[in-house]
Amino acid sequence: MGEGATPPEAPPRELLLTGPEVTLTIPLYARALDYRSRHPILGDRKADEIVRSVDFDFQRLYRSGNRGVLVVRARQLDDWAREFLRRNPRSTVLHLGCGLDSRVERLEPPAEALWIDVDLPDVILVRRRFYRETPQHRMVPGSLDETGWLDGVPTDRPVLMIADGVLMYLTPASANALLEGIAGRFPTGAFIFDVMNSGAIQRGNEQLGGPNGDVLRWGVDDLAELDRAHPRLRRTGTLSLFAARFLPLRYRVLFTLTVATPSLRSAIRLVRYEF
Ligand SMILES: C[S@@+](CC[C@H](N)C(=O)[O-])C[C@H]1O[C@@H](n2cnc3c(N)ncnc32)[C@H](O)[C@@H]1O
């Protein structure tokens, strides 16, 4: 190194996130623990690498009961996404509220697909420490409260929108405008995401609520209402997370009562819409 040259800066180890952004640590940690477990459901090595490489008290927000549910949610959405990409290799994938999720690496999309990870600017800044952008994989800083980030996204092909643990952080008006805004721009496509009912939103806010108030804002009790609000979308998949097929037996036993109680069964549901 020449005289006066400064050594390259090591990437910061701290994960300095606040607001809804910090919630990305919950599923990230769940995936890392799953990777370390004897029988992983998702087997996400990248999550483990990221968790090991940063200074953050992951236990702060994490509840041990979350692991199976969060990882199964990711696995089911991966499955639906793979199916879509098999049928539509030349598509645009909008991975909304991507956090530090390695879904793009888990799925290895076809070369003709364009994958776009979107999250708030502070998250994309951190994400760039762990992921490299390529012509087929972009990382876009933006708020899902508006659709300006969609400008410049190719809309001449089918779209797959994936939102894993994300839309409940938006207001009902923003969430509906987002679904409407994306469906209005693309010729065909599918939306896959999870919704929480109002009971789950309330319990979630009791766990996550900080000095700035509630972070979870969009609860859906009646999916038929969501269907009616979006006549262009056709619901082609509905699944209670507590009855998902990837749930290991021990969780199924644990959730026997949950599944038998309608308000708990619908606490977190995965849905797929097509248009
Ligand atoms: C629970 S985390 C889920 C992260 C990721 N999907 C995963 O499974 O690891 C919620 C994510 O939504 C993002 N988010 C919340 N509100 C947002 C908004 N208005 N615009 C964009 N992203 C938002 C957060 O920054 C965070 O990354």
Strands in the chain per DSSP E:
92-96, 114-119, 137-141, 159-163, 189-196, 234-240, 268-274
Question: What pLDDT digit, counting tens, does each position of 234-274 carry?
Answer: 999 999 988 888 888 888 888 888 888 888 889 999 999 99
* Banded model confidence at residue 7, pLDDT cuts 50, 70, 90: low
For a ligand 1 pocket test, name from 16, 24, 42 the mutation site with the most ligand atoms within 8 angstroms of its C-beta. Answer: 24
Confidence (pLDDT) at 211: 65
**42 exposed, middle or buried (CB, 10 Å; 0-12, 13-18, 19+)?**
buried
Tokens 């009562």, located at residue = 257
d(CA 216, CA 168): 5
The one-letter code for the residue type at 106 is R
d(CA 275, CA 273): 7
**73 exposed, middle or buried (CB, 10 Å; 0-12, 13-18, 19+)?**
buried
Centroid of ligand 1 to alpha carbon of 97 (angstroms): 4
**99 exposed, middle or buried (CB, 10 Å; 0-12, 13-18, 19+)?**
buried
Centroid of ligand 1 to alpha carbon of 165 (angstroms): 7
Centroid of ligand 1 to alpha carbon of 196 (angstroms): 15
17 Cα nearest atom in ligand 1: 25
d(CA 153, CA 158): 12
Tell me the two tokens of residue 207: 């766990």
Strand order in the sheet with 137-141: 137-141, 114-119, 92-96, 159-163, 189-196, 268-274, 234-240
* Banded model confidence at residue 1, pLDDT cuts 50, 70, 90: very low
d(CA 247, CA 97): 24
d(CA 115, CA 31): 21
Tell me the two tokens of residue 89: 């290799």
Least Cα distance to 274 among 151, 164, 187 occurs for 187
* Banded model confidence at residue 4, pLDDT cuts 50, 70, 90: low
d(CA 268, CA 270): 7
Average pLDDT over residues 119-139: 96
Tokens 């929108």, located at residue = 161
Q: Which residue's CA is the nearest one to ligand 1's atom 16? A: 169
d(CA 54, CA 57): 9
Q: pLDDT > 70: what percent of the chain?
A: 94
Determine which helix (DSSP H) or strand (DSSP E) holds 34, and give its type and residue range.
helix 25-36
Question: What pLDDT digit, counting tens, does each position of 209-222 carry?
Answer: 766 678 999 999 99
